[in-house]
């Protein structure tokens, strides 16, 4: 992957898009309009001699590369400019702060010749990737249609009867169906990599539970290899015995054939995914042929040989007799049959287990898994009904057991008597060798799919080894070839499977793995529930057909069934999980996956914030933690209510109050009064309050910016009201206001400015930014627009902003600037990005008319705003009087300032006209706040931009500017 290389310093011109230069000299006036058009964001003007004067910009609209952590061969990755580059003085050549998009390799420079050489290299070989049919649907169906279907389902039907067997099948499908829904939700919550079930659980519940269940799941799959291999070997052994071929005895023959079979299948797996996939298709075709052969066979009239073995084709009396249970032996119970049948349903994770080999896991896993569960459930129900309608429970297999004329119907025992056969002797002596109660091979067709379980173990072991959660397993994760096949992991699986094959008893192996798979399913469901209940911002699965309460029900059912099946095996499984969990908690692995456990820790951390010192921040769990400059909170209730709308109890809100005075007990008491907290509590706003005393407003806010919060619970967004009286107040006050915004940027805060037509300050008629001089009584609770339920209005977003719950009925509209000839292309680009973020917005409008000239009247209005701050640079005046005055009064605006910032000024004027046209009836307008460059844009000019941009609008206007760090992600990790 070729990355852009930067030198030791960052130059603005290097990132400026190529746009036509405009020519013209003379005094700066805003009446002249540059025809080159507007850029993508806030314009950037340079004070260099060759600076472009059009609407070019460093600011960049959202792009896929900004949020992805993977590289694409053959093209350079795009990077956002840092916030430093956006607002710093372009003459300052100091190195900017190191952000994600400005990596160390970029800053160190590079050799262009090496870059060219890298570009000419061949792309890396692409590993094999599968679609949802071949990669998930077929794979899951093959794993579900296992040996239980062919070797044990008729026997289970004989024991439990058709009715209870249907209950067993539907109960198993209910558990796997709920787990399938939970798996689909987890798998669609970001990009899924290799690691299968372990990856899904660990990235949701964290490394502690994920690692422990990962090892258990790998072991369960290894035992499943043995189960399916023993089933195959059992079938082959019985067929050999029927034809008089015996090697040693039945048990040892199963062991010999099983070891030979698993060795051959190991070879298929080690040959690679391509060969394994071809084998999957072959086995699937064999299954389809076997199903066709089976159903055709049930329709064909029974021959005497088949009748001797208990097969009479479809008979109503046989169905009625087999519908009720007939328990036999030590295993004859409902849960005994369930424990033997349930492993057949465990193949639902076969597709998720090869998540790293799927073309599009977020589509393939939900679609393939749920379809496989549905079709296999139907097939199991149908096979149970047909086999129970055609075959009696007991038969001798002897052709001379037909009823003769001398045989009395009273002496004949069994249902077969009604169809001309007398199996009374073997029924009375319990020596019948045929019938669905005695003969496992009623509908046997040779089939095995051990290699799919081997590959599932590969995925889990490989990911576990890479995460380095446990010692001594890393040696098994070493990969070979383009698919990174862990041959050592295959050998480990082979050894484990061979050991369990030596048991050579299917009914003994099946219950062993039931508990381990149930434990895995329980944690998958709990992962989905936990991620939902913690309201993690990173939990936004695109798969919507799941319920957190259904997932919780599935998790509880799995645990209950584990103990009903075999209580001591369940205790062993939980003991292993607890031991591995304790080891992980003790070792504290140095990994950070943005799990739901971390998201849940945030809620607890409000009272136990010390515990969060061990948890690193993650983009998935980003929350807007707001420091709100309210002064006394009761003086600006609209600011309080707006922030409360999207913080609620899920994010930090801190109301800041600066008392501009010398330190004195009276001033300290004023800032720390309990009246402020009482007012917040009575208003039911979950917020902290922090007051400081400072000699001036700006220094006090700086104290809040640096000192507010505790541990990880600290503000990252500064929200303040617009300084409506900036022209009537002192120039120093306006300068300090803009200085506060720059201070927030310097400290990596995002900044929001709220403007309302009626003003914000409820304590006095004139709006000011500083603290209120008169505090409203805590008992007084004035209402604001942000407390009211909004009707079917719109929330107009000019770029991106999170949806707030109070306006749930409002429709969100996203507006972006664009070009007329690329309007649809730009719209689809933004829609695709919003879809990847799973934000749920569907209405995007591209505004090509944003590049038009602003109305002359509005331009004149802007010129009047700044007229009182213009610095007269008449040439007749003493030349030495200008610069010193500008140094003493940095808020003064020169002609040069107007000229080089003309593009941005015109842009804000035109954008206000667009807001007037498109968002007049909106409930809320959210718009990107322009950035004024320090040393290039005087503070009063910057304030004039904010004023002209948001003036004369009926809805509240929220100006938003982030700190150029990622707060959204579409990745799972």
3-state secondary structure of 794: strand
User: What sign results for the dihedral spanned by CA atoms 928, 929, 935, 941?
Assistant: positive
Confidence class for position 3, pLDDT limits 50, 70, 90: very low
What confidence score (pLDDT) does residue 702 get? 92
Q: How far, in Å, CA of 467 to CA of 462, rounded?
A: 9
Q: At what angle do helices 450-467 and 196-205 cross, to 10 degrees?
A: 40
Concatenating the DSSP letter of every residue in 625-672 gives: -EEEE-SSGGG-HHHHHHHHHHHTTTS-EEEEEEEES-S-HHHHHHHS
- Which stretch of DSSP H or E encloses residue 117? helix 112-119
594 has a pLDDT exceeding 90: no
In the predicted model, what is the mean pLDDT of residues 650-672? Answer: 82
- Tens of pLDDT, residue by residue over 852-863, are 788 888 889 988
182 in a structural domain: yes
Q: Are residues 581 and 640 in the same domain?
A: no
- Structural domain count of the chain: 3
Q: How far is CA 945 from the centre of its chain?
A: 38
Percent of the chain residues past pLDDT 70, beyond the cut: 70
CATH number at residue 636: 3.40.50.620
Q: Are residues 536 and 628 in the same domain?
A: no
Q: Residues near 374 by Cβ (< 8 Å), separated by ≥ 6?
A: none
Q: Which residue has the higher pLDDT, 453 or 587?
A: 587
Q: Which residue has the higher pLDDT, 448 or 935?
A: 935
Q: How far, in Å, CA of 627 to CA of 705, rounded?
A: 8
What confidence score (pLDDT) does residue 15 get? 40
Residue for token pair 């977020």: 362
DSSP single-letter state for residue 39: -
Confidence class for position 97, pLDDT limits 50, 70, 90: very low
Q: Are residues 687 and 823 in the same domain?
A: no
Q: Are residues 579 and 625 in the same domain?
A: no
Residue for token pair 């088949």: 306
Q: Which of 267-276, 570-579, 875-884 has the highest mean pLDDT?
A: 570-579
13 has a pLDDT exceeding 70: no
Q: How far is CA 78 from the centre of its chain?
A: 23
Region of poorest pLDDT, from 640-644, 714-718, 738-742: 640-644
Structure token digits, residue 916: 């007037």
769 has a pLDDT exceeding 70: no
Burial of 548 (0-12, 13-18, 19+ CB in 10 A): middle
Q: Residues near 479 by Cβ (< 8 Å), separated by ≥ 6?
A: 462, 485, 486
Q: Which domain holds residue 734?
A: 620-755
Q: Are residues 728 and 830 in the same domain?
A: no
Query: Is the pTM for the entire model greater than 0.85?
Result: no
171 has a pLDDT exceeding 60: yes
Q: Are residues 661 and 739 in the same domain?
A: yes
767 has a pLDDT exceeding 70: no
840 in a structural domain: yes
Q: Are residues 574 and 637 in the same domain?
A: no
Q: How far, in Å, CA of 32 to CA of 20, rounded?
A: 16
Based on C-alpha coordinates, what's the Rg of the chain?
36
Q: How far, in Å, CA of 310 to CA of 312, rounded?
A: 6
414 in a structural domain: no
In the predicted model, what is the mean pLDDT of residues 190-204? Answer: 69
Burial of 442 (0-12, 13-18, 19+ CB in 10 A): buried
Q: Are residues 632 and 728 in the same domain?
A: yes
The answer to whether 191 touches 362, Cβ cutoff 8 Å, is yes
What confidence score (pLDDT) does residue 41 get? 36
50 in a structural domain: no
In the predicted model, what is the mean pLDDT of residues 1-8? Answer: 36
84 in a structural domain: no
Q: Are residues 748 and 818 in the same domain?
A: no
Q: Are residues 202 and 332 in the same domain?
A: yes
61 in a structural domain: no
DSSP single-letter state for residue 928: E
What confidence score (pLDDT) does residue 918 get? 83
The answer to whether 907 touches 38, Cβ cutoff 8 Å, is yes
Q: Residues near 79 by Cβ (< 8 Å), separated by ≥ 6?
A: 4, 65, 66, 101, 102, 106
Burial of 556 (0-12, 13-18, 19+ CB in 10 A): middle
In the predicted model, what is the mean pLDDT of residues 711-734? Answer: 87
Q: Which residues are bridge partners to 354 per DSSP?
A: none
- Tens of pLDDT, residue by residue over 452-492, are 444 455 455 555 555 555 555 656 656 666 556 667 767 77
Region of poorest pLDDT, from 45-49, 629-633, 773-777, 809-813: 45-49
What confidence score (pLDDT) does residue 218 get? 75
170 has a pLDDT exceeding 90: yes
Region of poorest pLDDT, from 142-151, 453-462, 577-586, 859-868: 453-462
Q: How far, in Å, CA of 344 to CA of 367, rounded?
A: 20
139 in a structural domain: yes
3-state secondary structure of 579: helix
Confidence class for position 169, pLDDT limits 50, 70, 90: very high
What confidence score (pLDDT) does residue 469 get? 55
37 has a pLDDT exceeding 50: no
Residue for token pair 């590969």: 458
Main-chain phi, psi angles of 657, to 5 degrees:
-135, 125
Domain's final residue, options 755, 778, 802: 755
Confidence class for position 356, pLDDT limits 50, 70, 90: low
Q: Are residues 732 and 856 in the same domain?
A: no
Mean pLDDT, the chain, rounded, equals 74
Region of poorest pLDDT, from 500-504, 585-589, 850-854: 585-589
696 in a structural domain: yes
Confidence class for position 744, pLDDT limits 50, 70, 90: very high
Alpha helices in 207-272 (DSSP H): 207-242, 250-270
CATH number at residue 279: 1.20.1740.10
Q: Are residues 337 and 441 in the same domain?
A: yes
Closest CA to 66 of 110, 88, 99: 99
Q: Strands across the sheet with 843-847, in order?
A: 688-694, 653-660, 626-629, 717-721, 750-755, 957-961, 924-928, 794-798, 811-817, 843-847
What confidence score (pLDDT) does residue 839 get? 73
Q: How many residues does the chain have?
A: 973
Q: Are strands 653-660 and 626-629 parallel, antiparallel or unpaired?
A: parallel
Q: How far, in Å, CA of 367 to CA of 183, rounded?
A: 11
What confidence score (pLDDT) does residue 405 get? 63
Domain's final residue, options 755, 777, 812: 755
Region of poorest pLDDT, from 225-234, 458-467, 557-566, 865-874: 458-467
Confidence class for position 9, pLDDT limits 50, 70, 90: very low
Distances (CA, A) of 306 to 162, 392, 906: 21, 11, 92
Closest CA to 186 of 208, 206, 201, 171: 201
């Amino acid at each position: 992957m070729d990355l852009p290389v930067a030198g030791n310093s960052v130059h603005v011109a290097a990132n400026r898009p190529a746009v036509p230069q405009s020519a013209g000299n003379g005094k700066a006036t805003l009446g002249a309009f540059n025809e080159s058009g507007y850029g993508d964001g806030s314009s950037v003007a340079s004070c260099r001699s060759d600076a472009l004067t059009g609407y070019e910009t460093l600011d960049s609209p959202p792009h896929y590369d900004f949020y992805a952590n993977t590289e694409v061969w053959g093209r350079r990755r795009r990077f956002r400019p840092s916030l430093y580059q956006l607002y710093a003085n372009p003459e300052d050549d100091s190195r900017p702060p190191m952000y994600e998009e400005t990596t160390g390799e970029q800053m160190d420079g590079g050799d262009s010749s090496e870059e060219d050489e890298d570009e000419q290299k061949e792309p890396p070989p692409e590993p094999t990737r599968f679609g949802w049919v071949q990669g998930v649907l077929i794979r899951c169906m093959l794993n579900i249609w296992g040996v239980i279907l062919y070797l044990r389902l008729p026997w289970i039907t004989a024991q439990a009867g058709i009715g209870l067997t249907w209950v067993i099948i539907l109960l198993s499908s209910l558990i796997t169906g709920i787990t399938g829904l939970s798996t689909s939700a987890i798998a669609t919550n970001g990009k899924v990599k290799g690691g299968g079930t372990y990856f899904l659980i660990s990235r949701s519940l964290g490394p502690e539970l994920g690692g422990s269940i990962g090892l258990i799941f790998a072991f369960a799959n290894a035992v499943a290899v043995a189960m399916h291999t023993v089933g195959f070997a059992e079938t082959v052994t019985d067929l050999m015995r029927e034809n008089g071929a015996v090697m040693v005895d039945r048990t040892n023959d199963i062991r010999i054939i099983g070891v030979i079979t698993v060795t051959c299948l190991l070879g298929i797996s080690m040959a690679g995914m391509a060969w394994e996939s071809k084998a999957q298709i072959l086995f699937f075709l064999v299954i389809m042929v076997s199903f066709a052969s089976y159903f055709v066979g049930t329709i064909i009239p029974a021959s005497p040989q088949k009748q001797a073995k208990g097969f009479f084709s479809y008979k109503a009396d046989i169905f009625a007799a087999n519908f009720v249970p007939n328990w036999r032996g030590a295993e004859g119970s409902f849960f005994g049959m369930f424990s033997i049948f349930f492993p057949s349903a465990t193949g639902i994770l076969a597709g998720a287990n090869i998540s790293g080999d799927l073309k599009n896991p977020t589509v393939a896993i939900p679609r393939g898994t749920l379809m496989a569960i549905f079709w296999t459930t139907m097939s199991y129900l149908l096979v149970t009904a047909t086999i129970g309608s055609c075959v009696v429970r007991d038969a001798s297999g002897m052709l001379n057991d037909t009823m003769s004329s001398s045989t009395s119907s009273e002496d004949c025992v069994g249902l077969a008597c009604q169809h001309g056969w007398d199996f009374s002797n073997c029924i009375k002596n319990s020596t019948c060798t045929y019938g669905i109660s005695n003969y496992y091979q009623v509908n046997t067709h040779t089939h095995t799919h051990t290699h799919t379980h081997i590959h599932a173990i590969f995925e889990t072991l490989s990911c576990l080894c890479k995460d380095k959660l446990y010692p001594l397993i890393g040696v098994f994760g070493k990969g070979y070839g383009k698919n990174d096949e862990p041959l050592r992991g295959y050998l480990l699986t082979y050894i484990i499977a061979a050991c369990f094959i030596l048991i050579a008893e299917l009914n003994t192996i099946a219950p062993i793995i039931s508990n381990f798979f149930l434990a895995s399913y329980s944690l998958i469901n709990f992962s989905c529930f936990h991620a939902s209940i913690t309201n993690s911002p990173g939990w936004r699965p695109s798969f919507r057909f799941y319920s957190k309460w259904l997932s919780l029900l599935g998790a509880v059912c799995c645990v209950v069934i584990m103990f009903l099946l075999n209580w001591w095996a369940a205790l062993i499984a939980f003991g292993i999980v607890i031991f591995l969990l304790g080891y992980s908690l003790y070792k504290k692995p140095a990994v950070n996956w943005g799990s739901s456990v971390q998201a849940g820790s945030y809620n607890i951390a409000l009272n136990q914030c010390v515990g969060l010192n061990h948890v690193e921040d993650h983009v998935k769990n980003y929350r807007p933690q707001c420091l709100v400059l309210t002064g006394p909170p009761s003086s600006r209730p609209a600011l309080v209510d707006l922030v409360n709308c999207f913080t609620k109890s899920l994010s930090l809100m801190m109301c800041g109050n600066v008392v501009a005075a010398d330190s004195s007990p009276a001033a300290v008491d004023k800032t720390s009064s309990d009246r402020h907290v009482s007012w917040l509590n009575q208003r039911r706003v979950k917020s902290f309050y922090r007051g400081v005393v400072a000699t001036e407003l700006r220094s006090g806010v700086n104290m809040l910016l640096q000192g507010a919060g505790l541990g990880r619970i600290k503000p990252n967004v500064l929200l303040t009201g617009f300084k409506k009286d900036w022209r009537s107040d002192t120039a120093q006050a306006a300068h300090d206001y803009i200085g506060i915004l720059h201070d927030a940027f310097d400290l990596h805060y995002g900044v929001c400015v709220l403007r309302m037509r009626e003003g914000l300050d409820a304590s006095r008629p004139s709006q000011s930014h500083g603290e209120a001089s008169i505090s409203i009584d805590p008992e007084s609770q004035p209402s604001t627009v942000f407390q009211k339920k909004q009707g079917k209005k719109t929330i107009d977003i000019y770029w991106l902003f999170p949806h707030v719950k109070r306006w749930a009925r409002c429709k969100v509209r996203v507006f972006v600037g664009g070009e007329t000839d690329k309007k649809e292309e730009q719209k689809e680009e933004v829609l695709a990005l919003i879809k990847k973020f799973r934000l749920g917005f569907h209405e995007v409008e591209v505004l090509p008319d944003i590049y038009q000239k602003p109305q002359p009247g509005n331009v004149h209005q802007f010129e009047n705003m700044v007229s009182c701050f213009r610095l007269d640079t008449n040439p007749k005046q003493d030349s030495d009087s200008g610069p010193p005055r500008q140094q003493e009064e940095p808020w003064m605006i020169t002609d040069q300032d107007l000229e080089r910032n003309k593009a941005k000024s015109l842009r804000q004027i035109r954008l206000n006209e667009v807001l007037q046209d498109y968002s007049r009836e909106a409930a809320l307008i959210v718009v990107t706040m322009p950035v004024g460059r320090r040393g290039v844009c005087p503070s009063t000019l910057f304030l004039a931009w904010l004023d002209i941009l948001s003036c004369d609008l009926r809805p509240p206007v929220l100006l938003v500017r982030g700190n150029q760090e990622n707060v959204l992600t579409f990745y799972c990790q």
